[in-house]
Amino acid sequence: MSQIDDLPPLRDVIRTHALDARKSLGQNFLLDLNLTSRIARSAGDLENVTVLEVGPGPGGLTRGLLAGGAKRVVAVEKDRRCLGALGEIAAHYPGRLEVIEGDALKIGLRDVAKGEPLKIVANLPYNVGTQLLVNWVACEDWPPEWTSLTLMFQKEVAERIVAKPGTKAYGRLGVLAGWRTDAKILFDVSPKAFTPPPKVTSAIVHITPKAEPVPCPLKALERVTAAAFGQRRKMLRASLKALSPDAETLIREAGIEPTRRAEEISVEGFIALAKAFAGDS
């Protein structure tokens, strides 16, 4: 394993600060600095960019981002045990690392960006990763504060984000991501890369916002996809009936046959359904 800076190896950092990964916080620490540097490079040019990192833990990815040239990294960490290790990184990279102790679900991106280009790069804690992604993609204002997301998820979740109609993985997450963003899986990460090793393979997903996604009522899209995929084996005329007594008529108004099922409907089809049901709500 090559050194990317003059700081101690991550195993030594974990030992010094007694940082056992805690399941309750969704923690799995990445110790391979070659890998964390690769993830940082996957986010593209970091010069003159503020990077938001969620759940830095002992700081492996943080170091990759800073060594990779990030102008400023804002690391949000809920586990105060990690603050000492992150403080050592901040001292090594003066003025370039800001550590916030807190809950990433409550962090305002505008306050983080401070008017500069913002990229989000993170090995997301497993227990809040999907909710964070939904928050970032389903924000009220578009284009969003961020210019790209480079995120690690369990591979199963990553496949749901990039899933296309007609596939088993296609669902609410795929519709939401497909509506407003372009998403692709870059590479897999073996469980052996983590301490402790999770039981599943992970994957890095790179997401960029579409400049002008088709206008769509967000709340209606959420209602329609929740109902349709909540009973994905049923035809739409049955799964969407709870949303309106005129469900079958509304489905036809959206240009879709009521006998089709959720996994057969394109993102554009769900947008049409959302617009039809929004007028009926």
pLDDT in tens, 95-133: 999 999 999 999 999 999 999 999 999 998 888 999 999
pLDDT of residue 1: 46
Is residue 183 domain-shared with residue 78, that is, in the same domain? yes
CATH number, domain with residue 243: 1.10.8.100
Share of the chain above pLDDT 90, in %: 88
- Does 26 reside within a domain? yes
How much is the average pLDDT of 145-174?
97
- Does 43 reside within a domain? yes
CA–CA distance, 75 with 179 (Å, rounded to integer): 29
Is residue 119 domain-shared with residue 170, that is, in the same domain? yes
Its domain, for residue 193, covers 10-209
Q: Answer yes or no: are the C-beta atoms of 153 and 129 closer than 8 Å.
A: yes
Is residue 62 domain-shared with residue 182, that is, in the same domain? yes
- Does 4 reside within a domain? no
pLDDT band at 264 (very low <50, low <70, confident <90, very high): very high
pLDDT of residue 280: 58
Q: What is the mean pLDDT of the chain?
A: 94
Is residue 64 domain-shared with residue 198, that is, in the same domain? yes
Residue 5 has pLDDT above 80, yes or no: yes
User: Does 135 belong to an annotated binding site?
Assistant: no
Last residue of a domain, one of 157, 190, 209: 209
Is residue 253 domain-shared with residue 203, that is, in the same domain? no
pLDDT band at 140 (very low <50, low <70, confident <90, very high): confident
Is residue 32 domain-shared with residue 57, that is, in the same domain? yes
Summarised one tens digit per residue, pLDDT across range 189-209 is 999 998 888 899 999 999 999
Last residue of a domain, one of 209, 232, 265: 209
Residue 36 has pLDDT above 70, yes or no: yes
CA–CA distance, 227 with 29 (Å, rounded to integer): 37
Is residue 264 domain-shared with residue 181, that is, in the same domain? no
Residue 93 has pLDDT above 50, yes or no: yes
pLDDT of residue 2: 57
User: Does 123 belong to an annotated binding site?
Assistant: yes
**Token pair belonging to 90:** 């901040």
Is residue 173 domain-shared with residue 268, that is, in the same domain? no
How much is the average pLDDT of 222-247?
96
How much is the average pLDDT of 56-77?
96
Is residue 197 domain-shared with residue 261, that is, in the same domain? no
pLDDT band at 21 (very low <50, low <70, confident <90, very high): confident
Q: Largest alpha-carbon pair distance within the chain?
A: 66
Q: Cis peptide leading into 198, omega within 30 of 0?
A: no
Is residue 100 domain-shared with residue 171, that is, in the same domain? yes
- Does 203 reside within a domain? yes
Q: What pairs with residue 29 in β-bridges?
A: 195
- Does 5 reside within a domain? no
Is residue 156 domain-shared with residue 223, that is, in the same domain? no
- Does 85 reside within a domain? yes
User: Does 32 belong to an annotated binding site?
Assistant: no
How much is the average pLDDT of 74-88?
96
DSSP-derived letter for residue 206 is E
pLDDT band at 148 (very low <50, low <70, confident <90, very high): very high
Long-range contacts of 141-146 (CB under 8 A, 24+ apart): 142/180, 142/209, 142/213, 143/209, 143/211, 144/109, 144/209, 145/109, 145/110, 145/112, 145/113, 145/118, 146/52, 146/109, 146/113, 146/118, 146/119, 146/120, 146/209
CATH number, domain with residue 14: 3.40.50.150
User: Does 103 belong to an annotated binding site?
Assistant: yes
Calculate Rg over the CA atoms of the chain. 21
Model confidence, pTM: 0.94
Residue 27 has pLDDT above 90, yes or no: no
pLDDT band at 234 (very low <50, low <70, confident <90, very high): very high
User: Does 59 belong to an annotated binding site?
Assistant: no
Q: How many domains does the chain have?
A: 2
Last residue of a domain, one of 209, 238, 260: 209
How much is the average pLDDT of 14-40?
87
Is residue 193 domain-shared with residue 242, that is, in the same domain? no
User: Does 28 belong to an annotated binding site?
Assistant: yes
